[in-house]
Amino acid sequence: MLAISRRSTLGMLLAAPTLGAAAAARDPLGLAQAAREQIGVTKAYDANYRAISYPGGDVLRTTGVCADVLVRAARDAWNIDLQQRVHEDMLRAFDAYPSRAAWGLKTPDANIDHRRVLNLETYLTRQGALLRRASKREPGDRFDAPRPGDILTWRVWGDRPHLGIVARGPEGARVVHNIGFGTKEEPLWMFKLHTAVAHYRWRP
């Protein structure tokens, strides 16, 4: 058995509270609460392209798209910048993302890439967060035991990508999202006429 030096032991003891704090800071309930706190703040929907700063860029919090709910919640709850993380991952593996086929892009664009649901689906899948991908044309309320902090995606009104964060569940599941009228919390059953796509449990 290898002997552990006093210095190594002390280092592990000092690191333990820091690791515990990091785990607590990334509690999924914190992500759900940070999404809820956008209700009444983000009152409109605006999908127009905007030039924003990098990293940490954002459009005015009074508006945004569905993806902004997740981007802002991750920043507020976990101090994780999805703008930077998605951009860096796209620099490493641009061809893994749908940007070329969907939007004709030849290089990543940090102004918009993290605000697109298709890119966030790809990023979360690459991070190992995918729990289940729905079968074709599965009703939009058919997710297995969604927990607070889980991320759900759909295709609404035909083929429009949409994203929300579970605020309560699995019983009586509710979702925070922005589908066009600002950030709101609504029951999952309201999505039954849309199409379920994927269920993610992101624990970075």
Helix (H) or strand (E) holding 92: helix 82-92
CB 188 within 8 A of CB 168: no
Mean pLDDT of 175-203: 97
Q: What is the pTM of this model?
A: 0.88
pLDDT in tens, 123-155: 999 999 999 999 988 999 999 999 999 999 999
Domains along the chain with CATH numbers: 6-200 (3.90.1720.10)
Mean pLDDT of 158-184: 97
CB 173 within 8 A of CB 185: no
Predicted local confidence at residue 99, as pLDDT: 85
Give yes or no for residue 25 having a pLDDT over 90: no
Is the backbone peptide bond immediately before 170 cis, with ω within 30 degrees of 0?
yes
pLDDT in tens, 77-90: 999 999 999 999 99
pLDDT in tens, 31-82: 999 999 999 999 999 999 999 999 999 999 999 999 999 999 999 999 999 9
Q: Measuring CA to CA, which residue among 170, 194, 189, 179 is closest to residue 69?
A: 179
Give yes or no for residue 14 having a pLDDT over 90: no
